[in-house]
Structure 1
């Protein structure tokens, strides 16, 4: 199986989680193994943040004590802590370079002692929300290529999708939640159409076209713009008649 086929398989597995009952830990363990195959790294772990802002390992490519200890000490220092705090990926961290490990010397020493030479930390995020970090370790000082970086980010995104989907299922029925959200959005759009139609003394079709054009021109979501119109946060005169 080629690298592209293995990556596609990982993505398909993630899509399956959107419709099937699945075990999150098992899925993430499998994804960690896929990472080691696709990126030629020795070990991978997925860390999630708790309500107190502390990172905890939830899945790893293996359960060796040396690896789990590297995750457990990242409550206070380590590339994962820094990546979670600012949402920025940290790639190609040579564990022998003091300049690259200045913020976490204790972690770097433990990682070297465990036999690792390089590490990478990627944020698991959706828009502005970071839910955790994916941590990768290599035994050779071999930096990621541009393709490696894209693949790593894609796998971190896959893990994020699975985690957020699981949380949605845990806290309520997904289909019902989606339906209710869609209905709520539709209601507010209809209200905004009515406001514009009355202001313009025109039909609701033209009002909707005006809303849609304004939303696209200002890079706003249609529902968001409609809420602003209904709440009076935007003057209807600011929206151009189509």
Structure 2
């Protein structure tokens, strides 16, 4: 396979990792980590994803040892891609892991990477317009440090991956919001239907019917939607729909007159 075909395959795989908007973070990270060493002239690669918010950081590598290193580094908060929002991802030139800068900044990460046979590390940020989501980390030996041209290609791969992840996340957030709005609308419709049932059967205003419904839900410590659904489905508490029950807006119209007529006839 030619390098051009290999590169095209990686881009296609990255684009396909979020089919139909379904977010597959581990799959996307694995595609980038697995394809980067041969494409970019590195001995190994890892991808660290630090999205922030409620999402937990994730990491994967091109081989099991690197994957283990990066996942351990998540708890250490060390390495080019592990600081909050990829703050350490400015190591965009080959940094010697046995140098004073790396040892001082990453006292556990640097020796662990050296023990795996890697002597240099390069971090390429995963960037979107508003922030950095992590980093593509390239490991190499002293004689096979990625070239400037390879790092330029690495930046393109990292940027494409970051945009793919961000768009998939936005699509997922959009679906979540749509679902919440649909549920809220459905709940509102059911509540309005229940108000209509109660108002009709007890001769209440719609406001009085809603107050009766809400008071019942509160006194029984039940969700308003559940109580309303039972009323609409015809198996709610009879006290909510019984015409003889007084509502919050007063007695049922005509009831007093009926009592007077009954009294006058005895």
- Corresponding residue of 2:58: 57
TM normalised by structure 1 equals 0.60
Largest Rg, 1 or 2: 2
- Corresponding residue of 2:127: 125
Deviation at 1:4, TM superposition (A): 2.6
- Corresponding residue of 1:190: none
- Verify: 1:26 aligned to 2:27, yes or no: yes
Q: Using the TM superposition, name which of 51-60 and 111-120 deviates more.
A: 51-60
Cα distance between partner residues in 2 of 1:6 and 1:101: 35
Match of 1:135 among 134, 137, 161: 137
Cα distance between partner residues in 2 of 1:73 and 1:58: 9
Aligned pairs, number: 174
Cα distance between partner residues in 2 of 1:112 and 1:58: 19
- Corresponding residue of 1:210: none
Cα distance between partner residues in 1 of 2:64 and 2:33: 12
Gaps of 5+ in 2: 179-266
Cα distance between partner residues in 2 of 1:128 and 1:86: 17
Deviation at 1:89, TM superposition (A): 4.2
Contact persistence 2:21–2:168 (CA under 8 A) = no
- Corresponding residue of 1:88: 90
Deviation at 1:95, TM superposition (A): 1.4
CA separation of 1:92/1:86 partners in 2, compared to 1, >3 Å: closer, same or farther?
closer
TM normalised by structure 2 equals 0.55
Residues 45-94 of structure 1: CA distance to partner in whole angstroms, max 9, x if unpaired? 22122536998333322233x64224422543322246812653432111
Residues 117-175 of structure 1: CA distance to partner in whole angstroms, max 9, x if unpaired? 1111111111231111122212444222121111111111122122112212321249x
CA separation of 1:99/1:47 partners in 2, compared to 1, >3 Å: closer, same or farther?
closer
Q: Secondary structure at the match of 1:51?
A: coil
CA separation of 1:128/1:165 partners in 2, compared to 1, >3 Å: closer, same or farther?
closer
CA separation of 1:131/1:58 partners in 2, compared to 1, >3 Å: closer, same or farther?
same
Deviation at 1:34, TM superposition (A): 0.8
Residues 176-223 of structure 1: CA distance to partner in whole angstroms, max 9, x if unpaired? 9xxxxxxxxxxxxxxxxxxxxxxxxxxxxxxxxxxxxxxxxxxxxxxx
Gaps of 5+ in 1: 177-242
What is the RMSD of the two structures over their aligned residues, measured on CA atoms?
3.1
Cα distance between partner residues in 2 of 1:58 and 1:12: 21
